[in-house]
Amino acid sequence: MQRRTLLKSSVALMATTVAAPVLFAGHARADAMADAMAVVEKYAQKVTAWDGPTTGPKAQPGKTIVVLAGDLKNGGILGVTT
């Protein structure tokens, strides 16, 4: 490959790399922002009914539940373990 061809190719690649985010930024950001807003709207509403699991294994007498926690300074984890 000649030096001139390499130089032209390098300049073209650099120009494309710099220009691509500017040319396509509006479309990508609009979709990502709309997706983020939809997620926030879904989970920011007040929940009046439980929508989690309603079935599962039955509690068994004499069995122990083990909780692995990084540290017990977190109030949520500490509350579960006591």
Beta-carbon contacts of 78 under 8 Å, excluding residues fewer than 6 positions away, are 72
16 within a domain of the structure (yes/no):
yes
Q: Along the 82 residues of the chain, how does pLDDT read in single tens digits?
A: 577 777 778 777 777 777 766 666 655 566 888 889 999 998 888 888 888 899 998 889 999 888 787 777 777 877 777 7
pLDDT, residue 26, reads 59
Place of tokens 């949520």: 76
Please give the single-letter amino acid code of residue 17. T
Q: Are the C-beta atoms of 53 and 41 separated by less than 8 Å? A: no
pLDDT, residue 25, reads 62
59 within a domain of the structure (yes/no):
no
13 within a domain of the structure (yes/no):
yes
pLDDT, residue 6, reads 74
- Residue 73 φ/ψ, nearest 5 degrees: -85, -15
30 within a domain of the structure (yes/no):
yes
pLDDT, residue 81, reads 74
39 within a domain of the structure (yes/no):
yes
Token code pair at residue 73 = 């300074």
* Count: domains in the chain: 1
Q: For the whole model, what pTM was predicted?
A: 0.28
